Structure 1
Amino acid sequence: MDEADLAESADHVYRLLRRDLIRVEAVELQRLYDEHHISDTTRQRLQRSLDLEEARLDLVT
């Protein structure tokens, strides 16, 4: 495996891990909202940020 293959493989693993983490963050965000720790405005703003990041990850795939 050459250096380019290693870099591509590492990037792929990063994107998979980041997608998993985004899902975990979204669940936690919903929990915080459901338990009235954050407002709906805050939840929407943060969820939008997660959605945009996930969309950027999908563009690279």
Structure 2
Amino acid sequence: MPNSHAGVGGVDAQRRTLIGIEATELQHLHEANMISNTTRRRIQRELDLEDASLRARD
């Protein structure tokens, strides 16, 4: 039976790349005064937690 987790590492790496892109865009939105610092920090924390979760699976 094939490993059901095959390819998961690649998907995790892609998701971590997307998290980085999201974090960059989040910073741009904050710098453009489109979101508050509180909103930026809340969303960044969610991205950080998701990234940490993905890294823990490595």
RMSD, aligned α-carbons: 1.0
Structure 2 gaps of 5+ residues are: none
In the TM superposition, 1:39-58 aligns within 5 A as 39-58=36-55
Is it true that 1:29 corresponds to 2:26 in the alignment? Answer: yes
Alpha-carbon deviation of 1:3?
A: 1.5
> TM-score, length-normalised on structure 1?
0.89
The structure carrying a bigger helix percent of its residues is 1
Counterpart secondary structure, 1:33: helix
> TM-score, length-normalised on structure 2?
0.93
Larger Rg: 1
Q: After the TM superposition, list the runs of 4 or more consecutive aligned residues in structure 1 that deviate by more than 6 angstroms.
A: none
Give the paired residue count: 58
Query: Identity of aligned pairs, percent?
Result: 41
